[in-house]
Amino acid sequence: MKKLDITKLRNVGIISHGGAGKTSLAEGMLFNAKMTERLGKVDNGTSVLDYEPEEIKRNITISSSFHHFDWEKQKVNIVDTPGDGNFSNDARSSLSVLDGAVVVIDANSGIRVQTERGWQYCDDLGLPRLVFINKMDRESSSSSNIIDDIDKILGKKAVAIQMPIGAEDAFRGVVDLINMKALIYEDEESGSYTEEEIPEDLKEEASELRGKMVEDIAETSDELLEKYLEGEDLSAEDLYEGLKRGTFNMDFVPVLYGSALKNIGIQPLMDKIVQCFPSPTEMGEHKGTNPVTKEEEVRRADEEEPFSAFVFKTIADPFTGKLTLFRIYSGVLNSDSTMYNSSKQVKERVGQIFRMEGKGQKSLTEAGAGELVAVAKLKETTTGDSLCDENAPIVFEGFTSPAPIVSFAVEPKSKGDEEKAIASLNKLVEEDPTLTIHRDEQTKEFILSGMGQVHLDVTLEKLKRKFGAEVELKLPKVPYKETIRGKVKIQGKYKKQSGGRGQYGDAWLELEPLAKGEGFDFVDKIVGGVIPRQYIPAVEKGIVESIEQGVLAGYPVVDFRASLVFGSFHSVDSSEMAFKIAGSMAFKKGILEANPVLLEPIMNMDVTVPDEYMGDIIGDINSRRGKVLGMDEKLIKAQVPMAEILQYSADLSSMTGDRGTFSSEFSHYEEVPAQISEKIVEASKEE
């Protein structure tokens, strides 16, 4: 197999807000590069990249998909990332191993929330970008404000290197401002166009736009700026050189126009991808740590370097097994070989190596630095792990997935399917780091958590399709607890005589509250042998078993002390069982007289919202019995009862137009207000 020239490789992600048309754009690239025979369409289910049934059903990208094409003697790996906020972590993890991103903006709706988030991911990762303003053929499309919005909202200078010809139904091409030519497209989705002179009515505007573009490009180097200031014309070669430099250094972002569905303007974008984006060698060294010496290690994108790679995605498949996707940072990996997982410190056997092609896969005998590849059936490797040559170990810094924000209890639809359903869910959790599942020891429920309702709905559909397991989602039970506020002394006496040997146990307890969080404390205050030593642990055991179900609503009782102060016994009829029952009886009677109250879990919350929503969100937190602890720029810190935020994700999204995010974690327990406590107690009786 002919080796790939790393300098002619581009690894590019396509990002946008959901519905902006990035998958259609990627389909157009594949079609124009003759990787597909027809132009795939998301709306009619013929997309090569959105192939999962859950994606076809919703017309959205749920999981990043991968393909490649050759263009202008360069190889381009493209990654079509999700644009829905429920799946943004998948986009972020894919971007972490790429070298550039095409940001797609809808000419109708402009810059939206997920565009901003994707842009921020690129900022964090230092990725060069191109902007493609899509849907120029749509009714009410307008690109006039988007250039300014890129500067105002996204914080980056936008340089238009094209100008649209026509608008809405009359959109038919673009003006190439570098070469000052009009590219007029056939109205047949073939991508065919002719290079013509700029129409007379557009020449003046095109000249003005070109002047702005040349000025911005000239500022990328002293040499170009000197030529520009001296009045020399910058050649096309000068402009291409400055355009690449400005893009790579992120001095500005070039802007292009088109219609992905009509296949207009896609080839010029493909040209700019290979002209402006860096190769793996130009992106510099990848830093890591030697797991043995803890010293910094670096790897260059060179096939002569030791093999190293980073796992950025895992796909669970019940038939082919787990598929592990990774970016090779250095060296070469051969099929039927062994590699070392330096994160887990285990060896992994490599069978076949695959290059992903949408739903399909192409088998490779080897893959080198810069490539995105997959291997099946690795036993120990998971997303975020580092792979390398065992003789040259290195661990690359991983990425932290955001904490889930919505949780539901899962119940199998069929009795006896619990084990199968939970095992299958665990496989999906391995595929998706933003999913978690755990068993709540108090409520005995399995809790599935994710990034939103759509995320969990999709997970359940995958669970049924891939593993044949069906579950239902229910709001999780709030793990209330009970405690006491008063102090009592109470007797528990168990006496039973039914012929022959009887049962006798007599225990006096003092019950008193403890400070918050101190749990349960048992104190033996027996003196004079009124209760034999061997029976005292039985009294404690009777109390411990009883505190699992309190007297108010059946919740565990916490934060109290039970002191065994007195009692009596029978030399023949007393037993451990009798004193265990006596301890339980005393506890249950005493709790009722010790002013029992309900406790509820309080959550620490960090709510991040744009400034214009701060007032509304603070008011909403107060209405949920919450306490605002502090405010910073766009951040509200608060404590809110768990019962009030079980569906907060959807509520926050509605209040802020998807612009708000939050995280929560358990803080402590507090007493439930009396009127709410009464409702909880009544509801428990109905159950």
- CB neighbour burial string for 144-154, b if at least 16 within 10 angstroms, e if fewer: eebbeebeeeb
Parallel, antiparallel or unpaired: strands 308-315 and 360-364: unpaired
> Reading across the β-sheet that carries 100-106, which strands appear in turn?
65-71, 74-80, 9-16, 100-106, 129-134, 253-257, 158-160
How far apart (Å, rounded) are the C-alpha atoms in residues 671 and 169? 64
Q: In the chain, pLDDT over 70 holds for what percent of residues?
A: 99
Q: Which two tokens stand for residue 187?
A: 């109205």
Q: What is the pLDDT of residue 416?
A: 75
Q: What is the pLDDT of residue 188?
A: 87
Give the residues across from 309 on adjacent strands: 328, 387
How far apart (Å, rounded) are the C-alpha atoms in residues 382 and 390? 18
Does residue 628 carry a pLDDT above 60? yes
Distance of CA 4 to the CA centre of its chain: 33
Q: Is 618 exposed, middle or buried (0-12, 13-18, 19+ CB in 10 A)?
A: middle
> Reading across the β-sheet that carries 286-289, which strands appear in turn?
296-299, 286-289, 395-396
Instruction: Give the pLDDT confidence of 534-549 residue by residue, as tens digits.
Output: 999 999 999 999 999 9
For Cα atoms 425, 427, 429, give the angle at the middle one, nearest 5 degrees.
70
Does residue 510 carry a pLDDT above 80? yes
State the average pLDDT for the chain: 93
CA nearest to 97, candidates 116, 74, 77, 83 = 77
Q: What is the pLDDT of residue 363?
A: 94
Please give the residue that has the higher pLDDT: either 215 or 453: 215
Please give the residue that has the higher pLDDT: either 230 or 174: 174
Contact 369/306 with Cβ under 8 angstroms? Answer: no
CA nearest to 564, candidates 491, 661, 660, 480 = 491
- CB neighbour burial string for 200-215, b if at least 16 within 10 angstroms, e if fewer: eebeeebeebbeebbe
> 430 pLDDT band (50/70/90 cuts)?
confident
Q: In the chain, pLDDT over 90 holds for what percent of residues?
A: 79
Least confident of 306-310, 384-388, 430-434, 511-515: 430-434
Contact 400/434 with Cβ under 8 angstroms? Answer: no
Q: What is the pLDDT of residue 499?
A: 65
Please give the residue that has the higher pLDDT: either 685 or 655: 655
